[in-house]
Amino acid sequence: MCTDRRNFLRLSAGVAGLTLFGSELIHADSSELETLQQRDTPAPIRRLQKMTDGVVPISPGERQARIAKAQRLMTEQKIGAIYLEPGPSMFYFTGMRWSTSERMFALVMPARGDIAWVCPKFEEERARELIKFGTDVRTWEEDESPYRRTVEIFRDRGLRTGRIGIEERVRFFLYDGIRKEAPGFQFVSATPITAGCRMFKSPAELALMQKANDLTIVAYKATRDSMRDGMTQDEFAGNCSAAFRALGVQGGVFVSFGKYTAFPHGSSTPQKLQEGDVVLMDGGCSVEGYQSDITRTFVFGKPTQRQRDIWNLERRSQDAGFAAARVGAPCEAVDAAARKVLTDAGFGPDYKVPGLPHRTGHGIGLDGHEWTNFVRGNKTPIQPGMCFSDEPTIVIYGEFGIRLEDCLYITDSGPKFFTEQSKSIDEPIA
């Protein structure tokens, strides 16, 4: 790897203003960084321009409505309050972004009454700068118990016993500390509340997801146009990250070449691109926290008939899944429809390979993978506002794999893709 390439990859990792040479940190001014980036960035990516003008964040009114819906669901589920620490659900309800550490920073949302925060005392001023909803901030000094502060919120909201919902990503030591401080409560999963809200996207959320998908396709096109014989996976992925940055967002991709495309989430084996290789790229970007997730598979050079036939079969499987995503149908029907196309062609059956070894799709929103899934056994009815990936994969170990992945959203009249599907193995990025 040449020095300039090392510089570029280091900058790609997000270390603004710093370039790493061995153990030395060399400070570079912005003009030097721009020169380094331009020197190593392929022309198709250099031509990209920022495309984030006009992005509309989620409004405070919509977040207030989300809190109100969560409180209605808590009442229905007989849950007195839910406890959340920083992450997508906290951001969903309040717009608050905060990193996690060993110190508790948390949100308590009661079924009745105002929300409240638990915060280290020395972080209070910063927290109050960022908090947009709720004025009740309970602080704790370094020698005090944050668990006691949390339980005080429960009691001040009239809760002495009953059920408290714990958000699924809360770390065990936090739950355990609260549980020990409040033995009179029953602790349950908060997923019926958080998923009950987040699974159903509003027009504002769909608009942000549409933008993320649009940007991903543009980045993918530029990345594909930058391919060259002998390039490594790291160079390919670095080009894609650079394309996303040029468009004004953070994003990335993992990529596999040749027989390693059969590994659904990639192989640790270093790979270099060669004529005739199948190329699988899977990734996306984030717009105001909302994710895209797109996979494109194609051939570097001229496809063989075998590659073309399997690619076309994969596309028929994806189409079958899409057609089955009808309002009111169980989620498992989508998996069954996509899988049947492959089984009828002699693959599988079930999760056996050669064939489709994983579910057909997952929910998507603020998390790249969230509730709920297109998978056997999931009887959840498909409803308007839900968003999913549609990504059956054909895995043929020792040969290659093909995955086409587009995300869809459910309207009153049925599913719609955010993106234009791949037309053919020769035109994979529409």
Written in H, E and C, the secondary structure of 279-304 is: EEEEEEEEECCEECCEEEEEECCCCC
- What is the C-alpha to C-alpha distance for residues 147 and 179, in angstroms, rounded to an integer? 9
Query: What number is the average pLDDT over the span 84-112?
Result: 98
Count helices and strands in the chain by DSSP H and E runs: 13, 19
pTM across the whole model: 0.90
Q: Which class for 414: exposed (0-12), middle (13-18), buried (19 or more C-beta within 10 A)?
A: middle
Q: Look at residue 32 in the predicted model and tell me its pLDDT.
A: 40
Length of the chain: 430
Q: Look at residue 40 in the predicted model and tell me its pLDDT.
A: 80
3-state secondary structure of 188: strand
Q: Look at residue 234 in the predicted model and tell me its pLDDT.
A: 96
Residue pair 406/297 in contact (Cβ under 8 Å)? The answer is: no
Tell me: pLDDT of 390 over 80.
Answer: yes
Q: How many alpha carbons fall within 13 Å on the CB side of residue 212?
A: 30
Instruction: Report which of residues 85 and 6 the model is more confident about.
Output: 85
Q: Which of 131-158 are b and which e, b meaning 16 or more Cβ less than 10 Å from the residue's Cβ?
A: bebbeebbbbeeeeebbebbbbbbeebe
Q: Look at residue 201 in the predicted model and tell me its pLDDT.
A: 98
Tell me if the bond preceding 354 is cis, omega within 30° of 0.
yes
Instruction: Report which of residues 19 and 425 the model is more confident about.
Output: 425
Tell me: pLDDT of 359 over 60.
Answer: yes
Q: Which class for 28: exposed (0-12), middle (13-18), buried (19 or more C-beta within 10 A)?
A: middle
What's the pLDDT tens digit per position in 361-381?
999 999 999 999 999 999 999
Residue pair 331/375 in contact (Cβ under 8 Å)? The answer is: yes
Share of the chain above pLDDT 70, in %: 91
Instruction: Report which of residues 47 and 2 the model is more confident about.
Output: 47
- What is the C-alpha to C-alpha distance for residues 295 and 232, in angstroms, rounded to an integer? 19
Amino acid letter for position 144: E
Q: Look at residue 270 in the predicted model and tell me its pLDDT.
A: 96
What pairing do the DSSP bridges indicate for beta strands 393-396 and 387-390? unpaired
DSSP 212: H
What's the token pair of residue 135?
């004025």
| pLDDT band at residue 91 using 50, 70 and 90 as cut-offs | very high
- What is the C-alpha to C-alpha distance for residues 107 and 163, in angstroms, rounded to an integer? 16
What's the pLDDT tens digit per position in 163-218?
999 999 999 999 999 999 999 999 999 999 999 999 999 999 999 999 999 999 99
Tell me: pLDDT of 12 over 90.
Answer: no
Q: First vs last Cα of the chain: how many Å apart?
A: 33
Question: Mean pLDDT score of the chain, rounded to an integer?
Answer: 92
Tell me: pLDDT of 8 over 80.
Answer: no
Residue pair 293/405 in contact (Cβ under 8 Å)? The answer is: yes
Type and span of the H or E element at 388: strand 387-390
What pairing do the DSSP bridges indicate for beta strands 81-84 and 162-166? parallel
| pLDDT band at residue 35 using 50, 70 and 90 as cut-offs | very low
Tell me: pLDDT of 326 over 50.
Answer: yes
Q: Look at residue 38 in the predicted model and tell me its pLDDT.
A: 56
Query: What number is the average pLDDT over the span 92-114?
Result: 98
Question: 103, 101, 112, 106: which is closest to 86 by C-alpha?
Answer: 106
What's the token pair of residue 245?
């940055």
Q: Look at residue 199 in the predicted model and tell me its pLDDT.
A: 98
Q: Which residue has the tokens 């079969």?
A: 313
- What is the C-alpha to C-alpha distance for residues 51 and 244, in angstroms, rounded to an integer? 10
